Amino acid sequence: MPTPTPTPNPPAPGPEILAAFEAAKGFMPVGEGLALYAAAVEAGRLGLPLLEVGTYCGRSTILLAGAAREAGVTALTVDHHRGSEEQQPGWEYHDPETVDPELGVMDTLPTFRRTLHRAGLEDHVVALVGRSPKVAALWNSPLALVFIDGGHTDKHATADYEGWAPHVAEGGLLVIHDVFPDPVDEFTGQAPYRVYLRALASGAFTELPATDSLRVLRRTGDGI
């Protein structure tokens, strides 16, 4: 499968996609979002689906869906919608608005669906509701892009990598969010950093330019 050629000027989302992204709940900064969109547009030229692990309320999904629409492919997003560790009550990133008032547990699925509806992107996304390793175990087709942005423990980040990275097609992209090399960020970014190092050490990926905590790797070989 041919490797898509990056353009000198990275593609950018249109104003309506960017506005929807900025209005959505979530934590991805604009600069990293623009880099994710550019990577997704490039990968989409392979004609294969784009997949993210870690939907939350759909902020980054908007960008993948916009890129998928451009490429004529589908964006897939995997999440159990009960929130990761740092989003639970009592933690820094908890949002009480995401708690189901009847069950008393987090449920970001309704907010995610509203986000996509408002952005006019529902037809370009398939939401896979379940735990990443269980969904990955059922998956058996190549992907143009895998964006890992799920749980930030070693257990969850490693499972996301092991479950999904092997499905990145030759020439496709593996994108990892919240990669923080400084040990002071042990809770928020060290597990993604260790996954990023593992991907490089595998020999299956070649690193492309990074944007802040967003790392982009191209699948260039075997060995995952």
Letter string b/e over residues 205-221, b meaning 16 or more CB atoms within 10 A of that residue's CB: beebeebebbbbbbbee
Task: Please say whether the beta carbons of 161 and 199 come within 8 A.
Answer: yes
Helical ranges in the chain per DSSP H = 15-23, 30-44, 59-71, 109-119, 132-138, 154-164, 191-201
Tokens standing for residue 81: 């919608």
Per-residue model confidence as pLDDT tens digits over 33-75? 999 999 999 999 999 999 999 999 999 999 999 999 999 999 9
Per-residue model confidence as pLDDT tens digits over 128-174? 999 999 999 999 999 999 999 998 899 999 999 999 999 999 999 99
Which positions are annotated as active-site residues? 152
The residue count of the chain comes to 224
The pTM assigned to this predicted structure is 0.90
